[in-house]
Structure 1
């Protein structure tokens, strides 16, 4: 997965408008697909948590009709001298959850966390 950030304002009521593109040929039918999304930050408590709504959008940042909206809570806790990230997603319905599962949300999120792991590893080597 590759991510393009169209807009990023990390503050309460700030917007993150982004596009993810599948660049992994092993993802079969998902390869080459792009998905535009928009997150609106509800609450940011440093260093404890980030709460935001995440939705499918178009290139201009308009919410996509008929697509589920997800309430995401990211909590950061100390665990054995390191930071543990707990990410919870809440959907309005089971159908909304099933819809995004069928679209490959688990694989997409996992690929982004793997990329983050790689970036953090590089930064530790530099610092």
Structure 2
């Protein structure tokens, strides 16, 4: 399993997930830079993602929805703030309504995804920072650790394909 740790820190308002992959950094990077590959791993296995917009550049945005086994759609949005090709990217992440517009009152996180080479492949560190302990607690109760871990753990199969 790629996920080796998931650490919520209510004092620092962060959730940090660390994973390791048996593939080079540039290959892992492509999973996140290509929306068609990202669709294959974003969200838990039974909630496949569909990216409607994906402008992977600073100031660009992505909008997507995940579809439940019952056909219910859950939307989200990203606003990219920085991209350092193959090394890291940063974005703001939030919940979206049925028209993929941001939902007021739901937690928004600031995220940094960092990728570094290891002797056997790539280490990825995913750090999400929330505005308040209440926002972090809310997403923890919604199952963000389990959902994100299941999503990240799908990457190995995509890399092997």
**Could you state the TM-score of these two structures normalised by the residue count of structure 1?**
0.82
Instruction: Measure how far apart 1:91 and its partner are.
Output: 0.4
- Corresponding residue of 1:90: 129
Counterpart of 2:65 (choices 8, 19, 24) is 19
| Runs of 4 or more consecutive aligned structure 1 residues displaced over 3 Å after TM superposition | 31-34
**Structure 1 vs Structure 2 CA RMSD:** 1.7
Other structure's SS at 1:87 match? strand
Counterpart of 1:110 (choices 129, 146, 149) is 149
Instruction: Measure how far apart 1:33 and its partner are.
Output: 5.2
**Could you state the TM-score of these two structures normalised by the residue count of structure 2?**
0.65
Q: Distance in 1 between matches of 2:140 and 2:74?
A: 14
Q: Distance in 2 between matches of 1:81 and 1:113?
A: 18
Mapping of 1:62-81 within 5 angstroms? 62-81=101-120
In structure 1, stretches of 5+ residues that fail to align are 24-30, 123-127
- Corresponding residue of 1:4: 50
Other structure's SS at 1:12 match? coil
Q: Distance in 2 between matches of 1:47 and 1:119?
A: 18
Instruction: Measure how far apart 1:71 and its partner are.
Output: 0.4
Instruction: Measure how far apart 1:116 and its partner are.
Output: 2.1
